[in-house]
Amino acid sequence: MDLNFTSSEQAFRAEVRQFVRARLPEDISRRVLDGRLVRPDDFSRWQRILNAQGWGGPSWPKEFGGTGWTPVEQHIFDEECAAAGAPRILPFGLKMVAPVIMAFGTPEQQRRFLPRILSAEDWWCQGYSEPGAGSDLASLKTRAERSVGDAGEEYIVNGQKTWNTLGQHADWIFCLVRTDPAAAKPQQGISFLLIDMKTPGITVRPIITLDGAHEVNEVWFENVRVPVANRIGEENKGWTYAKFLLGHERTGIAAVGIAKREMQRLKDIARQETRCGRPLIEDPLFATRIAQLEIDLIALEMTQLRALSTRADDRTAGAQASVLKIKGTEIQQALSELMMQAVGIYALPYTRASTEEADFEHLVGPEYAPALASTYCNMRKTSIYGGSNEIQRNIIAQTLGL
């Protein structure tokens, strides 16, 4: 396999770079590049700009309104957007539930939901994890009992989801629910529902994370009525659709483009003069750590490109996604740790939320110091969500028969 980009791919990169430079709002890119809190409207604004260009679904096939780009073109697009400071495309609609709807949804569901995801009219969130069902997701207990109501057949949903990301802004949530409690195996008897967040009986309660931000939530369901028409695929077959979705999520978590941008940011910080007068980049030990991390990042990118060239039905595809998830999150955590260490105590006084309103001219220490500590704290979760890295190692071993 040739890992060099072709002339047409290089031309595509130039086209994407020119577009992003011309159309990405400066206030959004500044927040992203400074490591500050990205606002909900920033995500929606950028998605609308992309959609107007016909690029709203970078990984979608043309038949559903996407670009029809090759996996390598998608990789180039992600890399150029990240380098310019574009906000990360929210994955819950575009990269997680949309592929499930395309593959397993009815034509009516596809017509109803997919265009509104592209146009940023609907914000989606995920309802997978529960207090007793995180890495052991098959142990979920949220129940959906089928009944007949005034509007026809429906499910009555009761239960709790946790670690729900950005659900406070969401219009819809895709949920795994147990529809057959008597199933012989825990993976059986689970269904995949699409639920309107405005439905009576849904309560969203914030969880404030270590970085001081309201990013995740608990979501409670109390006698929530969901039309049977909002079920994806067959009843009790939701585990199949969940695994399909998780493969997309884990590959995206690697975030190679963002890691490359943060690597450059780390180098820029290390080149600044310290209180001792010598930049950290000239310290052999610190420079070695940067070099080792950059080698890992290059290897991760090569692995991702190799995975992109693999046929979708390759039996090792799940293992590849797990490898990308493990190494990608480890690199993200290491980058945030080195950046925080580079500024030392100047990173401590600020949370991600406080820097949103702070006057940067009056901050103590270097201008690049704010939010580094909160970014470090936030990055601790990456090796857990999407299936913990320990679980990913189990998947690799089982898939390869080790």
Q: Find the angle CA(335)-CA(134)-CA(186) to the nearest 5 degrees.
A: 145
CA dihedral 104, 109, 115, 118 (to 10 degrees): -40
Q: With CA atoms as reference, report the closest residue to 131 among 155, 157, 172, 164.
A: 164
- 108 as an active site residue: the answer is no
The structure tokens listed for 352 are 């991600």
Q: Is residue 242 a contact partner of residue 137, using CB atoms and an 8 Å limit? A: yes
Q: Is residue 86 a contact partner of residue 24, using CB atoms and an 8 Å limit? A: yes
How far apart, in whole angstroms, are the C-alpha atoms of residue 140 and residue 129? 7
Neighbours of 88 (CB within 10 A): 16
Beta-carbon contacts of 386 under 8 Å, excluding residues fewer than 6 positions away, are: 246, 249, 250, 253, 325
Q: Is residue 170 a contact partner of residue 223, using CB atoms and an 8 Å limit? A: no
Of 80, 249, 301, 337, the active-site residue reads 249
Q: Report DSSP state, residue 86.
A: P
DSSP code per residue over 8-76 = HHHHHHHHHHHHHHHHS-HHHHHHHHTTPPPPHHHHHHHHHHHHHTT-S-TTS-GGGTS----HHHHHH
How far apart, in whole angstroms, are the C-alpha atoms of residue 156 and residue 307? 41
Q: Is residue 162 a contact partner of residue 128, using CB atoms and an 8 Å limit? A: no
How far apart, in whole angstroms, are the C-alpha atoms of residue 16 and residue 262? 20
How far apart, in whole angstroms, are the C-alpha atoms of residue 288 and residue 281? 9
Just list the catalytic residues: 249
